[in-house]
């Protein structure tokens, strides 16, 4: 995938070329490491007959006996996330809503352990076996929602993706979100586990943005963001912010962060008294926007996807 060129000629300051593979990844060490809770031991959780609402005459998961051998397999939420149904958290919500069944029996717990998705249905539709993880870089234009559909009928990223990805590509899910008026690099994957790992603050995957702003600001004020900042009771972590170019009271500012809270960049800059007139995401982890045309997508080579997986797992266990 091409990389390193400005998006719009003179309108965006030049940035040094960065390769879209993992060899040049300079991610900070992972923080807030948590133990892996994905594996379930013992027996599977209870199921309930199809059609009964959650909690209607059902039992919760049975505690594993210390005398029983460890059950092979993975929790169903993890398997469904891998299959691209939804993120693990969303799958757990779907199970609570009674939308997931095995052989016609509705599940009532995400602790159910399976070795495959044979016989599993979601909303009555069979679930196909997980496909190979695929990852795409998409240049999201302004004016598109990062959502599958909008009640108000506004266009979404999936409107553009119909013509941006090859036919037959499995359902893709966005890694994080970009606001309606934010443009730039958006990663998309069919693998819910990979999506989750890239989004979690604990993995410390950096996101780099460039903002065109109006107002008065100094580099010293921007450097204070390295200590984090609290706005209206919300704590934002370390942000590496640098002035790129200034003309009068207009300036381009580049910011790198690892949390990606909702509207974080805009809120922080507005808190500093700046008006944001344009916001672009230039990079997510080792992947860069480069000269990818607006509204187009490029697939990440499989070797880089596997390298990324290993890197994220190494950070988690560190």
Both 144 and 212 in one domain: the answer is yes
Q: If you average pLDDT over residues 180-196, what whole number do you get? A: 94
Both 274 and 155 in one domain: the answer is yes
Question: Which CATH number goes with the domain that contains 138?
Answer: 3.30.2350.10
Does residue 138 fall inside a structural domain?
yes
Residue 272 has pLDDT above 50, yes or no: yes
Q: At what angle do helices 192-199 and 302-317 cross, to 10 degrees?
A: 50
Both 79 and 227 in one domain: the answer is no
Does residue 37 fall inside a structural domain?
no
Question: Which candidate in 25, 179, 224, 240 is catalytic?
Answer: 179
Give the model's confidence band at 89: pLDDT under 50 very low, under 70 low, under 90 confident, else very high: confident
Whole-angstrom Cα Rg for the chain: 22
- Of 61-65, 90-94, 227-231, least confident by mean pLDDT is 61-65
Encode pLDDT of 60-88 as tens digits.
444 444 554 455 788 898 888 878 788 78
Beta-carbon-side half-sphere exposure of residue 49 (alpha carbons within 13 Å): 3
Both 225 and 291 in one domain: the answer is yes
Specify whether the CB–CB gap between 265 and 212 falls below 8 A.
no
Does residue 196 fall inside a structural domain?
yes
Q: If you average pLDDT over residues 286-310, what whole number do you get? A: 95
Both 251 and 270 in one domain: the answer is yes
User: What per-residue confidence (pLDDT) applies to 1?
Assistant: 43
User: What per-residue confidence (pLDDT) applies to 67?
Assistant: 52
CA distances from 99 to 105, 107, 110, 192 (A): 10, 8, 12, 18
- Of 62-66, 232-236, 268-272, least confident by mean pLDDT is 62-66
Question: Which CATH number goes with the domain that contains 86?
Answer: 3.10.290.10
Encode pLDDT of 239-251 as tens digits.
999 999 999 899 9
Does residue 61 fall inside a structural domain?
yes
Contact partners, residue 256, CB within 8 Å, separation at least 6: 206, 207, 208, 209, 239, 240, 241
Both 299 and 224 in one domain: the answer is yes
Both 209 and 285 in one domain: the answer is yes
Encode pLDDT of 111-159 as tens digits.
899 988 889 999 999 988 777 899 999 999 999 999 988 999 999 999 9
179 in catalytic set: yes
The count of domains in the chain is: 2
What domain range is 101 assigned to? 47-126
User: What per-residue confidence (pLDDT) applies to 181?
Assistant: 95
Give the model's confidence band at 232: pLDDT under 50 very low, under 70 low, under 90 confident, else very high: very high
Q: Single out the residue in 110, 126, 142 at which a domain terminates.
A: 126
Both 162 and 309 in one domain: the answer is yes
Specify whether the CB–CB gap between 137 and 297 falls below 8 A.
yes
Give the model's confidence band at 273: pLDDT under 50 very low, under 70 low, under 90 confident, else very high: very high
Both 300 and 172 in one domain: the answer is yes
Considering the entire predicted model, what is its pTM?
0.68
User: What per-residue confidence (pLDDT) applies to 201?
Assistant: 87
User: What per-residue confidence (pLDDT) applies to 54?
Assistant: 42
Both 162 and 311 in one domain: the answer is yes
Residue 40 has pLDDT above 70, yes or no: no
Both 195 and 256 in one domain: the answer is yes
């Amino acid at each position: 995938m091409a990389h390193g060129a400005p998006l719009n000629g003179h309108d965006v300051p030049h940035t040094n070329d960065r390769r879209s593979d993992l060899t040049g990844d300079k991610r900070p060490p992972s923080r807030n490491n948590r133990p892996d809770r994905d594996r379930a031991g013992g027996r599977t959780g209870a199921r309930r007959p199809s059609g009964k609402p959650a909690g209607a005459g059902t039992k919760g998961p049975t505690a594993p006996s210390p005398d029983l051998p460890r059950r092979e397999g993975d929790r169903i939420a993890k398997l469904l996330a891998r299959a691209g149904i939804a993120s693990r958290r969303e799958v757990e919500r779907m199970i609570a809503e009674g939308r997931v069944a095995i052989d016609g029996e509705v599940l009532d717990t995400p602790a159910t352990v399976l070795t495959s998705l044979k016989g599993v249905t979601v909303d009555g539709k069979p679930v196909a076996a997980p496909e190979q993880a695929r990852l795409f870089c998409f240049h999201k234009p302004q004016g598109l929602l990062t959502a599958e559909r909008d009640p108000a009928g506004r266009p979404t990223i999936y409107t553009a993706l119909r013509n941006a990805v090859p036919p037959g590509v499995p359902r893709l899910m966005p890694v994080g979100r970009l606001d309606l008026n934010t443009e730039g690099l958006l990663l998309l994957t069919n693998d819910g586990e990979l999506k989750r790992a890239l989004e979690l603050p604990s993995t410390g995957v950096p996101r780099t943005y460039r903002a065109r702003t109006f107002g008065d600001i100094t580099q010293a004020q921007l450097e204070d963001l390295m200590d984090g900042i609290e706005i209206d009771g919300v704590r934002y972590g370390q942000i590496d912010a640098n002035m790129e170019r200034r003309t009068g009271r207009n300036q381009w500012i580049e910011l790198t962060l690892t949390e990606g809270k909702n509207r974080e960049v805009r809120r922080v800059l507005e808190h500093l008294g700046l008006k944001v007139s344009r916001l672009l995401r230039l990079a997510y982890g080792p992947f860069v926007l480069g000269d990818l045309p607006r509204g187009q997508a490029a697939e990440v080579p499989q070797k880089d996807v596997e390298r990324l997986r290993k890197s994220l797992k190494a950070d988690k266990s560190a």
